[in-house]
């Protein structure tokens, strides 16, 4: 069983479109995250939810909106996609705020 | 100064040698330290975590933490070609109880047969 799963794995879309990425974890963790890995492979946090409550909201364009319907799911919706949004987006989860995080397989977003 | 710094490499070692990967961090209050391995096109995979000063061993991997020097390292003994990957050092800042990981830029390790 996959512990942290994301869909889709690949997403190719045109500028201006709106898209969503879904994430689910079956580890029973309380905290979930979205990270972005850019073309230089640098991994940076975007958002975090703890038990459906937003606890981290880094400096991210407000075109990006996370939603957590329950503590096992965290989705990311992106409006008006831009070329610069092309990256790999990783979902992750951890049991508590200071414990190790486990990552999903990533979603490679390409905006053309 | 970057919050978490790693030499991007590549670090090249022969098969069977010890690979030593280093990381420094700027937040003196940091409490949790992690090493992730990332193969090309794959997701980061947790290898080790360490919270206390000293060494922590797990199989061929040893993590070393020196909080006074703000330094954390990963040693890989008997390196194998399958260890060739990018190794990411990550730190949870001292002020954070949110689990926010600050990553270094990663060190690329090449193990040559």
Is pLDDT above 90 for B94?
no
8 A C-beta contact, residue A50 and residue A8: no
Q: Residue A1: pLDDT band by 50, 70, 90 thresholds?
A: low
Spatial CA neighbour of A32 closest among A109, A103, A106? A103
Encoded tokens for B31: 């409490």
8 A C-beta contact, residue A102 and residue A6: no
Is pLDDT above 90 for B37?
yes
Higher pLDDT, A26 or B8: A26
Percentage with pLDDT > 90 across chain B: 87
8 A C-beta contact, residue A89 and residue A36: yes
Residue B99's pLDDT is 83
- DSSP E strands: which ranges in chain B? 4-5, 11-14, 19-25, 32-38, 45-50, 54-58, 61-66, 71-76, 85-92, 102-103, 107-112
A91-109: b (≥16 Cβ within 10 Å) or e: bbbbeebebbbbbbbbbbb
CB-defined contacts A:B, below 8 A: 62
Summary mean pLDDT of chain B: 94
Residue with the two structure tokens 């990957």: B85
Q: Please state, in angstroms and rounded to a whole number, the distance separating the CA atoms of residues A4 and B6.
A: 27
Q: In angstroms, what separates the C-alpha of A70 from chain B's closest C-alpha?
A: 18
A93 touching chain B per CB within 8 A: no
* Predicted confidence (pLDDT) per residue in A40-86, tens digit: 889 999 999 998 889 888 889 999 999 999 999 999 999 999 999 99
Contacts of A100 in chain B (CB under 8 A): 34, 46, 49
Q: Residue B93: pLDDT band by 50, 70, 90 thresholds?
A: confident
B43 touching chain A per CB within 8 A: yes
Q: Which of B46, B88, B96 lies nearest to residue A43, judging by beta carbons? A: B88
* Predicted confidence (pLDDT) per residue in A12-44, tens digit: 999 999 999 999 999 999 999 999 999 888 999
């Amino acid at each position: 069983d996959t512990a942290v799963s994301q869909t889709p794995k690949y997403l190719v879309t045109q500028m201006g479109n709106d898209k969503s990425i879904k994430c689910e974890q079956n580890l029973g963790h309380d905290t979930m995250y979205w990270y972005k890995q850019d073309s230089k492979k640098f991994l940076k946090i975007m958002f975090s939810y703890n038990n459906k409550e937003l606890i981290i909201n880094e400096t991210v364009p407000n075109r990006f909106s996370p939603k957590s319907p329950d503590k096992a799911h965290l989705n990311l919706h992106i409006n008006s996609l831009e070329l610069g949004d092309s990256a790999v987006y990783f979902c992750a989860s951890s049991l508590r705020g200071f414990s190790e995080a486990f990552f999903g397989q990533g979603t490679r977003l390409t905006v053309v | 100064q970057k919050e978490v710094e790693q030499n991007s490499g590549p670090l090249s070692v022969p098969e069977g040698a010890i690979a030593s990967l280093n990381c420094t961090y700027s937040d003196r209050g940091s409490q949790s330290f992690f090493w992730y391995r990332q193969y090309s096109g794959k997701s980061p995979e947790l290898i080790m975590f360490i919270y206390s000063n000293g060494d922590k061993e797990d199989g061929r991997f040893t993590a070393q933490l020196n909080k006074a020097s703000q330094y954390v390292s990963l040693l890989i003994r008997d390196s194998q070609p399958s260890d060739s990957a990018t190794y990411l050092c990550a730190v949870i800042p001292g002020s954070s109880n949110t689990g926010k990981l600050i990553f270094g830029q990663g060190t690329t390790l090449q193990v040559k047969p």
